[in-house]
Chain A
Amino acid sequence: MGNNSTLPSATRRLFLQRSLLALGAVAAAPAISAAAFADTSTGDAPALKLLNAEDYRILSVVTDTLIPRDGAFPLGALDVDLAARIDTYLEPEDTELLQGLRGALMFLEHQAPGLIGVDSPFSAMPQEQRESLLLTLRDAGGDATAVFAALRGISMFYFYTDEQAWPQFNYDGPLVKRGKPVYPQVRD
């Protein structure tokens, strides 16, 4: 796939929005087959709000590549089940966001490996190769970079706001310990 011109402009503009704070994103890249977008939910991944099992599986691998275990501190994305945490913050009304996330995951899983001449899906690649593919996307420009930025943004945001991560990066976090505000429930 060419990096700069395969998406319709409106879709591409959305694609360019780069973190979950802006991943208002992609409905469907034409270069990605309709089959790849099919809901492959098997119900295997428990307690997911909006992601299906396949989204969750790929997102878990992506987050593990971006925030692996060990190095400067032991905790990695898999330890906090970051993909599941991201899922809890998706809202059903955010259809564009959800579609954007799916589009980015499908692109990465099925299309991006071709950019470095690899046949297997992203999630089947070894860690080092996955990281190097992500860096290739980063430097490629166009839609590839947009996918990199979006997945990186969402992963970093929700990992480093997770209180399990705070001691790891020497952050003692909020002074108040409370849950999220509860919105009043109304039945009309």
Chain B
Amino acid sequence: MIIQGHEIFSPLKLKTHSVVVGSGAGGGVAAYHMASAGLDTVVLEEGGYFQAKDFNQREEDMMPALYRSAGRQMTTDGLIYVWQGSTFGGSTVINTADATPIEAEVLHHWQQKFGLNELTEDNLAASYERVYKTLNVHRLEEKILNRNNKVLLETANRLGYKAGVFNSNRKGCIGSGYCFQGCAYDAKQGTNLTYLPMASDLGARIYTDVRVDRIEPISGNRYRIHASVVERGTRRFRHPVEIDCERIIMAAGTVHTPAILKRSGLDKGLPQLGKNISLQPQIGLSATFPDSEKMTSWRGAPQSIYMSEFDDNHAEHGLGGFRMEGVGGMAGVFAQFSNKIGLDHKRMMEQFPSTHYSALLVPDQPSGSLDWEWAADGSVKPKIHYALTAEWKQRFKRGFKTAAGFLFEAGAKEINCNSPVFGSITSPDQLSRVDDFPLEPGLVALTSAHVQGSCRIGVNADQGVVDQNLKLHNLDNIYVVDGSVMPTTASTHTMIPIMVMADRAMHKLAQGA
């Protein structure tokens, strides 16, 4: 059963066995496992309930509806947008449905550096199988690959570079191109179409427009959740909610899960809470090709092909290097690329169909931290502190030069990026300008779609917030199953890693193991 906030007209008090906080990648999986074990389960989701019929494929409308802070959430210095979904289905509704596993080198890194010996490929294999089946993960079909992405593969093949087509969690995708705005065809298999309806069919009650504010331990090893029904859109407080339960599964995402624990005073003895944030920052690049080379970046699967020649994944450091991936379906965001204005900018935009867009992804080491302020109505204002390291900046510049050189090799005439001050590069002999790239707030807009850390797994409370079964180190019966548990960035894309880790822990819990 799905109950939307506007269907609640007075304060609400409930009793249940398990409460899942958040309905995204981790929350969806948890809700399903709890419900399938026959446990009375309530899911609380702060965002609104939207369906395919609501998605109009327009950035200016869908970002305010589906993204946290309308897509305006940033690091405190204003350098990096931190994109997260906030809706029924969480970020799985707005993602580009690329399905990548936790890299083997990352698991080795976690074993070596953090002693996480239970998180082996063998131990995760059954979870992969279950998750892949539920999400219909398969290699993207040829017919929805667009030229914008294929140009990466063709150029890589010519240069002898590694590249490939993504696996994806879609079913019946028509290649509309607007994954970032929610799928209007119910093709993208997010938790909104998979785990949450499955949980609902098994009896779970899913409340949308209900924000969890804090958790109060009460007698008999039980908890009381204090929450608020909020107005859709404005998120203004409407009614209080109290739910008594035995078990809480936190899945409010990397930024909000630790906020709730902190506000509840449950962070005592958890020195790592709110620390070890990775963002995996990326920059958007555009490359104008001759008129005859139509890229049509907005049609077809937006992100279907990667060029991974410069991945540098090792047990010593996990993910490293840099990679390129095609991207599309955001004309408004892309119009901000370059430093041009006036007639020059119009000339550039006229070439939109023959302009290629890609993201340069540069994995980072966990180096950020969070803190929060709360308003009187219980809403939270997160502060994401994050500084680029010197090593990352070097790697970014090397990646930028390599990507730009690669795009010239592909036939590009001019390369721009999401910086309002960095001028176009029009030939390979200008690449040395990248050495002076302005990695400063206001001078470039980096983006993160993969915020992780903040409640990382560790073998004890000094090392991490949760154990390898994702249970809080300091309390019984509270689990964390979202992106916050990743000790370092798990993969180039984080949905599958989160779901697989959640599946392993929740399946065990549901089996009473």
Residue in B184, B231, B353, B443 whose beta carbon sits within 8 Å of that of A171 in the complex: B353
CB of B58 within 8 A of CB of A174, answer yes
Query: In the complex, A183→B70 CA distance in Å?
Result: 15
Residue B216 at the A interface, CB < 8 A? no
Residue A118 at the B interface, CB < 8 A? no
For B184, B298, B346, B421, which residue has the most chain A Cβ atoms within 10 angstroms? Answer: B346
Residue B391 at the A interface, CB < 8 A? no
Contacts of A156 in B (CB 8 A): 332, 335-336, 345
How far apart are A11's CB and chain B's nearest CB, in angstroms? Answer: 12
Contacts of A115 in B (CB 8 A): none
Residue B1 at the A interface, CB < 8 A? no
CB of A176 within 8 A of CB of B420, answer no
Residue B203 at the A interface, CB < 8 A? no
A-B contact count (CB 8 A): 171
Footprint of A on B, CB under 8 Å? 4-6, 9, 48, 50, 53-65, 70-72, 74, 76-78, 81, 176, 178, 184, 231-234, 236, 238-239, 298, 331-336, 339, 341-343, 345-347, 349-350, 352-353, 420-421, 441-443, 445
Footprint of B on A, CB under 8 Å? 13-19, 21-22, 24, 65-68, 70-73, 89, 91, 93, 97, 131, 134-135, 138-139, 145-146, 148-149, 152-153, 156-161, 166, 168-171, 173-176, 178-181, 183-186, 188
CB of A176 within 8 A of CB of B56, answer yes
Contacts of A161 in B (CB 8 A): 58-60, 331-332
CB of B332 within 8 A of CB of A72, answer no
20 more A-B residue pairs beyond the given contacts A21-B72, A22-B78, A175-B178, with a C-beta to C-beta distance below 8 A: A13-B76, A13-B77, A18-B420, A67-B342, A91-B64, A138-B341, A148-B420, A152-B336, A152-B420, A153-B336, A153-B420, A170-B352, A171-B298, A174-B57, A174-B58, A176-B184, A180-B61, A183-B48, A184-B5, A186-B231
CB of B76 within 8 A of CB of A179, answer no
Assuming A18-B445, A145-B442, A159-B335, is B233 touching A183 (CB within 8 A)? Answer: yes
Q: Which residue of B lies closest to A97 (CB)?
A: B72
Residue in A18, A146, A184 whose beta carbon sits within 8 Å of that of B232 in the complex: A184
For A73, A131, A135, A175, which residue has the most chain B Cβ atoms within 10 angstroms? Answer: A175
Query: In the complex, A96→B6 CA distance in Å?
Result: 27
CB of A18 within 8 A of CB of B71, answer no
Query: In the complex, A182→B334 CA distance in Å?
Result: 26
Contacts of A168 in B (CB 8 A): 350
Residue in B55, B61, B70, B421 whose beta carbon sits within 8 Å of that of A145 in the complex: B421
Contacts of B77 in A (CB 8 A): 13, 16
CB of A181 within 8 A of CB of B74, answer no
CB of A71 within 8 A of CB of B346, answer yes
Assuming A18-B445, A24-B72, is B58 touching A145 (CB within 8 A)? Answer: no
Q: Which residue of A lies closest to B231 (CB)?
A: A186
Residue in A21, A72, A131 whose beta carbon sits within 8 Å of that of B347 in the complex: A72
CB of B346 within 8 A of CB of A157, answer no
Query: In the complex, A149→B340 CA distance in Å?
Result: 11
CB of B74 within 8 A of CB of A17, answer yes
Contacts of A19 in B (CB 8 A): 336, 445
How far apart are B431's CB and chain A's nearest CB, in angstroms? Answer: 21
How far apart are B312's CB and chain A's nearest CB, in angstroms? Answer: 31
CB of B442 within 8 A of CB of A169, answer no
CB of B420 within 8 A of CB of A149, answer yes
Query: In the complex, A70→B341 CA distance in Å?
Result: 13
Assuming A22-B74, A171-B353, is B57 touching A176 (CB within 8 A)? Answer: yes
Q: Which residue of B lies closest to A140 (CB)?
A: B421
Q: Which residue of A lies closest to B77 (CB)?
A: A13
For A135, A138, A166, which residue has the most chain B Cβ atoms within 10 angstroms? Answer: A138
CB of A21 within 8 A of CB of B63, answer yes
CB of A152 within 8 A of CB of B441, answer no
Contacts of A139 in B (CB 8 A): 421
What are 12 of the A-B contact pairs (CB < 8 Å)? A18-B442, A21-B71, A89-B60, A91-B234, A131-B341, A138-B341, A149-B442, A156-B345, A160-B331, A176-B56, A176-B184, A183-B48
CB of A67 within 8 A of CB of B345, answer yes
Contacts of B55 in A (CB 8 A): 176, 181
How far apart are B413's CB and chain A's nearest CB, in angstroms? Answer: 15
Contacts of A178 in B (CB 8 A): 53, 56
Assuming A184-B6, A188-B239, is B342 touching A131 (CB within 8 A)? Answer: yes
For B64, B81, B298, B349, which residue has the most chain A Cβ atoms within 10 angstroms? Answer: B349
Contacts of A184 in B (CB 8 A): 4-6, 232
CB of B347 within 8 A of CB of A134, answer no
Query: In the complex, A176→B445 CA distance in Å?
Result: 30
Residue in B71, B178, B352, B421 whose beta carbon sits within 8 Å of that of A138 in the complex: B421
Contacts of A157 in B (CB 8 A): 59-60, 332-333, 335-336
How far apart are B345's CB and chain A's nearest CB, in angstroms? Answer: 7
CB of A72 within 8 A of CB of B421, answer no
Contacts of A18 in B (CB 8 A): 78, 420, 442, 445
How far apart are B201's CB and chain A's nearest CB, in angstroms? Answer: 24
How far apart are B74's CB and chain A's nearest CB, in angstroms? Answer: 6
Contacts of B72 in A (CB 8 A): 17, 21-22, 24, 97
Assuming A175-B176, A181-B61, is B81 touching A68 (CB within 8 A)? Answer: no
